[in-house]
Amino acid sequence: MPSWMKCTAMDGAQIQVNMDQVAMIRRHASDRGGTGSEITFASGSPSSIVVKEDQEHLVGAPEIAREHGVV
């Protein structure tokens, strides 16, 4: 079963990222004072996206999200 993570695109949009399809996560433009992370996918389109979450958050323990009232 795919593991999905909620992320925030640089324009503020909430997106779901299938972490099973991620090939690489790196800091986005940190040498130029940039913030967030660039997520590169193993295949498909888009080939990469930039999100506001930092690299440590994205590679940390997976979050388990449950809807209210779901066991």
- Residue 55 identity: Q
pLDDT in the model for residue 66: 62
pLDDT in the model for residue 68: 65
**pLDDT tens, residue by residue, 27-47:** 987 677 778 999 999 988 889
| pTM for the model | 0.73
Mean pLDDT per 10-residue segment, the chain (71 residues): 87 94 88 84 89 88 60 53
User: CA 38, CA 26: separation in Å to the nearest integer?
Assistant: 5
What's the sign of the alpha-carbon dihedral 51, 54, 14, 20?
positive
pLDDT in the model for residue 59: 83
